[in-house]
Amino acid sequence: MKKKENRHLTFFKWLILIFCVIGSTYAAQSSLSYTNAPVKAAQKTDLQPGQIKLSKTAEPVVGMVNQWDITLRIEGRNQFPPPPTDVVLIIDTSGSMKDNDRMVKAKMAAEKFVNMVLRKDYDNRIALITYSSEVTNYTFNESGWSDQFVDPTHKGLLIDKIKELKPEGGTFTQSAIKSATEVIAKASGSKRNIVLISDGVPTFSYPPTEPYNQLIGMEEYNVQSGYTYYESVKTIPKGKFNYNKIYGNGAEGRYRYGAFAPDYEQMPPNSTNRLMANHAHSAIAEASIAKNEKIANGENLVTDFYTIGVDMDSTSSDDGIVTGNKTLKEIASSEDKSFAATADNLEDILSGIAGEIVGAIKSGFVVDPMGTGFEMTGAVQATQGTTETKDVNGRPTINWNVGTLKTPVSLDPDEDVMFAEIKYRVNADDEVLKPTVIDANGLAQTNGRTTIVYKDYNDVMKQADFSVPKVKPIIVSLQKKLLNETGAEIDDRTEVFDFKYGEDQYTINDRFSLYSNEVKKIVHPWKANQDYVLEEILKANQDYETTIDINGLTKTGLKSSFKFATTVDAYAHQQIVVTNKKNPDRKTVSLNIRQAVLKPNSELVVPSKGFYRSVIDETQQNLNLISGSTTKDSAAEVAQNLFTKYEITLAKQQKQLKIVDLIPEYYTFYGYIATTTNVDLNKTHISSNTAALIKNNEAILDYQKENEYWLTLFITPKLGEDSNGELVISPRPYSWDYKVNKFGS
C-alpha cells in the first residue's frame, strides 16, 4: 500500500511560521554542562546536549567541470536529560496484524522505540497496552520492583514482552484508549504521551447511554435503501458510555453494527428507522475524553496523542480503510501527530516520534533556493522527511519538511547525535555571468539564503541560516578579431561569423554568431580530460585566413581543440581568440624558370635564351616569358643563378599558369621538372631525375595552394626535315630562330 504524507501540516502553515520568526535574531543555545552526562560516541563533536549544527557543502563532481553535489546537513545532540516523559504505547494485536508481517515489523519498530526513549540516565518511562477483542494492560515485576511504567533500568522486561506478542482477534480500539487514559493518569513525567499503532478500523465499542443511544442523540447517514439509518456520534462526552458491556462482533472492516434494544432504543413496530453503533465514532469520542482531561496544574493530561495507521493506503476507496484513516486522524492530538505507515517504514516513523521526545529538534522546515547562475539537475535525495521543489521569484527552491532528527551519526549503540540531510546536483550556467554574481576571487554562491525554522526541545520556535558554499565557475571565453588585407585590426559590425563547439550532451547547443571585437562567454558543464573542438564555419562569400589562439597557443585553420585538466584544482578558464585576416583580391606569386639544352650538337648553335608562351587559367590572358638557356645539367653545374625570376600578379580567383616552351629550329622538347622549393636544385633539376621528369610540353603550375615554383624545361637537338620537308643532313650555319624569336610577329 502507498504511504501517506508523514506530516499533514500544510505548507501554508509553515509559511506563516517562517514569517513569524523572520528577522528574529538567532541566538545559539547556551552550552549545557552535565557532570553526570553519559559518555557518548559523538562526544568528540562540539555539540552540547540540545544543540544543533548546520552545514552545507558543494563537492565537485568527479570528471566534470561546472558541476557540484550539494549536501545540506543538520546534526543535533539529544537533550540530556530530556524532559521526563511518560509514554503509553498501545499496539494493535488483532488478527489482521499477521498480514504482510505487520506484527513482526511492529515489534521490531517498538523495540527500537523503547531503546531510543529509555536510554541510560533518562527519566523517561513507557507503559505497554495491547488490544484485539480484549485489552491487556501490563504490569512488570523484577526483584522486588513492580510498575506499569518501565524505566531505563528495567527496559529489558518491556522488550521481552513486546517480542512475545501474537496477533489474534478483533479490534477494540475504544477500550485500549480508555485503558491508556487510566494508566497515563498515574504518570509523573512533565510530559505524558500516548502512541497508538493499528492496522484497521475499530470493530468493537462500548454502548453509549441516553440520549446518545437513542434516535434523538444519533446522526442520520445516507444509505441507498428503503430505510433511514442513524448512527452513534463521535461527540459522546465523558460519563455517557456503559463500560460494563461490549458491543460488536469483531468482523474485519465492520465498524458499523446493528444497534438494538436493550442497549439502544427500541424502534416502534413497522418503523423505517434503523439504528447503528459506529465503533469508529466511539473510539474518537473516547480519545476526545482523554484529550480533554486536565491535571491539577491545569495542563492537559495527554501532552501528545500519536496515531500510526499501518498498511492503510490513503488512496484506497475501500470504505473500511478510508474510515480507519479518518478515525486515526481524529484520535490524534493534531493532524501532524497522525501518520500513515507501511509495514516497512513503521520503524522510521516510530523513531521520529522518539526523536520528538528526546531529540534536539522536534520539527523542522528548510527553505533552500538555488543561487543565480545555478540550476538543479536530477532529483533531491533526502534521508528523511519530504521535499518539494517550486519556482519562487524565478529560482527553483527546495522546501524540505524535515521532521525530527532520528538517524544516529554512528553505529555506536550509545550514539546521541542524530542527523538528517538532503543531496542534489547543480550545474553552473550562463546566468552566473550577470553582474555581482562572481566575486573578486572568481567565486559564486551556489544558493540563495538557506534557512531552517524549527521547534527545539523546549517547544520554542527558532530560525537559523545555513552557510552557503562558494564555488569557482569555469568560463570558456571566445573573442572575435577581424583584420584587413594589410593585417590592421578593423571593427566591422555588418558581418557575422559562425561558430560551434563539440557534439556531446553539454555542447550540442553551442552554436552562435559573433561580430568583430565581440566576446562570447559560456558557462555550462564540460567533461574533464576530453578534447573539445572549436570550429569557425565560414560562409561561401567569406574569404579569410583564420588563426585560433587558445590560451596563448596559435594554430592556423578553421578548427582547434582544448581540454580541461583531470583534477579540480587544475581547472582553468579557456581564453580563445579567433582572428580572421582578409585575403587580398590579388596576390603576387613567383616563377623561377630556365631552359637546359641536352646533348648539344657541335654543328648547332646553342640557344642563349629560352622563349615561352604562358596562359593564366583557361582565359586568353597570355604572358610572354624569356629565360636564360644553357647546357648545364649536372649536380656540379646547376645552381639558383641559372633561373630567371618573375613576380606575377594574379586575381583572387585565378589559380593556374600554363607554360609552353617555344622550341627553336632543329630542336625538340625533352621534358620539364617543376618544384615548389629551391632545396637541392642540383639534384632535382637535372635530366637524370627521371622520376620527376614530365614529357609533356605544357607545364601547369597550381598557384591556389603554392606561391612559388622552380621550373626547368629541357630541349634536345633534332636534325629532321627542313621547312620544305627534305631531310637535313647537317644544320645550316645560321637560322633566325637561333638569335631572336619575335613570337610570330
Q: What is the pLDDT of residues 120-172, one digit of tens each?
A: 889 999 999 999 999 999 999 998 999 999 999 999 999 999 999 999 999 99
Asked if pLDDT for residue 111 goes beyond 90, the answer is: yes
Band (pLDDT 50/70/90 cuts) for residue 474 is very high
Cell (9 digits) for 501: 563547439
Contact 555, 591 (CB under 8 A): no
What helix, strand, coil percent values describe the chain, rounded to 5? 15, 35, 45
- Tell me the C-alpha distance between 74 and 84, whole Å: 25
Asked if pLDDT for residue 25 goes beyond 80, the answer is: no
Whole-number pLDDT of residue 733 = 55
Q: What is the pLDDT of residues 278-335, one digit of tens each?
A: 999 999 999 999 999 999 999 999 999 999 999 887 788 888 889 999 999 999 999 9
Asked if pLDDT for residue 10 goes beyond 60, the answer is: no
User: Domains of the chain, with CATH numbers?
Assistant: 39-79+361-470 (2.60.40.2110), 85-357 (3.40.50.410), 476-582 (2.60.40), 586-739 (2.60.40)
- 191-198 and 85-92: which strand pairing? parallel
Residue 33 burial (C-beta neighbours within 10 Å; 0-12, 13-18, 19+): exposed
Whole-number pLDDT of residue 21 = 39
At a CB cut-off of 8 Å and minimum separation 6, what does 324 contact? 198, 200, 201, 255, 280, 309, 312
Name the least confident of 189-193, 460-464, 599-603, 681-685.
Answer: 599-603
- Residue in 346, 340, 422 with CA at minimum distance from that of residue 383: 422
Name the least confident of 69-78, 306-315, 706-715.
Answer: 306-315
Concatenated DSSP letters for 179-245? HHHHHHTT--SSEEEEEEEESS----BPPB-TTTTSGGGSEEE--SSSSEEEE--S---TT-B-TT-
Q: What is the pLDDT of residues 218-239, one digit of tens each?
A: 999 988 788 999 999 999 999 9
Q: What is the pLDDT of residues 425-457, one digit of tens each?
A: 999 999 999 999 999 999 999 999 999 999 998
**Choice between 407 and 44, residue whose per-residue pLDDT is larger:** 407
Contact 364, 75 (CB under 8 A): no
Centroid of chain to Cα 249: 55
Whole-number pLDDT of residue 729 = 63
Whole-number pLDDT of residue 224 = 78
Whole-number pLDDT of residue 448 = 96
- Name the β-bridge partners of 532: 562
Contact 172, 135 (CB under 8 A): yes
Q: Which amino acid is at 144?
A: G
Asked if pLDDT for residue 4 goes beyond 50, the answer is: no
Whole-number pLDDT of residue 722 = 67
- Residue in 282, 221, 286, 232 with CA at minimum distance from that of residue 259: 232
Band (pLDDT 50/70/90 cuts) for residue 15 is very low
Please provide the average confidence, as pLDDT, over all residues in the chain: 89
Asked if pLDDT for residue 29 goes beyond 80, the answer is: no
Whole-number pLDDT of residue 27 = 32
Band (pLDDT 50/70/90 cuts) for residue 503 is confident
> What's the CA dihedral at 307, 308, 309, 315 to 10 degrees?
100
Band (pLDDT 50/70/90 cuts) for residue 737 is very low
Burial track 703-738 (b if 16+ CB lie within 10 A, e otherwise): beeeebbbbbbbbbbbeeeeeeeeeeeebeeeeebb
Whole-number pLDDT of residue 731 = 64
For residue 572, the tally of other CB atoms under 10 A from its CB is 13
Band (pLDDT 50/70/90 cuts) for residue 367 is very high
Specify the DSSP element, H or E, that contains 743: none
Band (pLDDT 50/70/90 cuts) for residue 9 is very low
Whole-number pLDDT of residue 353 = 93
Whole-number pLDDT of residue 68 = 98
Is pTM beyond 0.85? Reply is: no
Q: What is the pLDDT of residues 583-638, one digit of tens each?
A: 888 888 999 999 999 999 888 889 999 999 999 987 777 889 999 999 999 999 99
